[in-house]
Structure 1
């Protein structure tokens, strides 16, 4: 089985590419969704995070107070590292299970959709790293339109991430998403065909 590691910065269009791969029948592991489940109400992951931060980071409903945690880790990098270590360990265990299940099902291709694929070092554990990229100007415009953040807020978010130039050093495939949707999807189909041969849709 060939494992694709799909990544990209904020508002790069990674979700668009992931959705197309899913539509074509490829199994997709959504790391963002799994990260939320990792600290869901009543989970072991949540218990570990609260043990590290304190019970004041729980809501009255017993869920993680994400706004309060975000405020804490913005000023406390050690707390951020602790929380990331807890969540990444759980998410990677689920990613390994996902890959094993798809190998057992004799899938030819599977996708790990991971925003921090390279930062976490997980790019070393996949067969092909696909990076979705747009210009910085487009990234800022799209993020503002999508989230309602100001340009300065988006700039700060981008600055906190690994630069696109640095990410490109680790990418096997760079998907340019600065053009039309049709152009991006055509590029996805082309790269899939080259990676696994034609007809890699529903039988992937």
Structure 2
């Protein structure tokens, strides 16, 4: 079983590539969704967040106040490390379960869709690192449209992440998403054919 680690910065188009791989029948582990589930209302992860930061980081309904927590960790590196320590442990346990299930049913290729694949060191656990990349200008423009953030807010988030140049050092495949959608999907199909041959259904 070949494990692809799919990663990319904010508004790079990683979700588009992930959706196409899912459409082609590959099992996808969505680390972002798992991280949200890890701190769902009533979860062990949410209890650990409340213990680490205080009850004031929960809403009146008993859910995590995502805006408040995001603001905290964006401005406090120690708080970010605490949150990541809680989330990464839970999410990686789920990733291991996913890989075990996929191996058990004989999937030839599976995907771990992980924004922080390199930063967490999880790239060591995959066979191929696929990096989705766009120019900084496009990244800012797309993030502004998608999130409603200002250019300055987007740039601050990009600066807080590992640079694209650094990420490229870890990548086996760089999928350039600067062009049109058809070009990106064609590149995805071509790379998948290298792994599966004509059986990929591309």
TM-score, normalised to structure 1, is: 0.96
- Say what the alpha-carbon RMSD is for the aligned residues: 1.1
Partner of 1:12: 12
Post-superposition shift, 1:78?
1.1
> Does 1:40 pair with 2:45?
no
- In structure 1, C-alpha distance between the alignment counterparts of 2:12 and 2:53, rounded to whole Å: 32
Matches of 1:75 and 1:134, distance apart in 2: 26
Return the alpha-carbon distance in structure 1 between the equivalents of residues 103 and 25 of structure 2.
15
* TM-aligned CA deviation for residue 92 of structure 1: 0.3
Superposition misfits of 4+ residues, deviation over 2 angstroms: none
Deviation at 1:135, TM superposition (A): 0.7
Whole-angstrom distance in 2 between the partners of 1:71 and 1:191: 38
User: Following the alignment from structure 2 to structure 1, what is the Cα–Cα distance between the partners of residues 3 and 75?
Assistant: 36
Q: Say whether 1:68 aligns with 2:68.
A: yes
- 1:179–1:75 distance in 2 versus 1, CA, 3 Å: closer
Does structure 1 residue 24 correspond to structure 2 residue 24?
Answer: yes
Cα distance per residue 1:3-48 (max 9 Å; x no partner):
0000000111101100000000000000000000000000001111
1:137 correspondence with 2:137: yes
Corresponding residue of 2:192: 192
Within the alignment, does 1:86 sit opposite 2:86 as a pair? yes
Contact in 2 for aligned 1:26/1:201 (Cα 8 Å): no
Deviation at 1:82, TM superposition (A): 0.7
CA contact (8 A) 1:10 1:139 kept: yes
CA distance in structure 1 between the aligned counterparts of 2:152 and 2:101, rounded to whole angstroms = 43
Q: Provide the residue aligned with 2:178 in structure 1.
A: 178
Equivalent residue runs for 1:143-154 within 5 Å:
143-154=143-154
The alpha carbon displacement at 1:196 in A equals: 2.3
Q: Which string of whole-angstrom CA distances, capped at 9 and with x for unpartnered residues, describes residues 72-107 of structure 1?
A: 223322111011111000000000000000000100
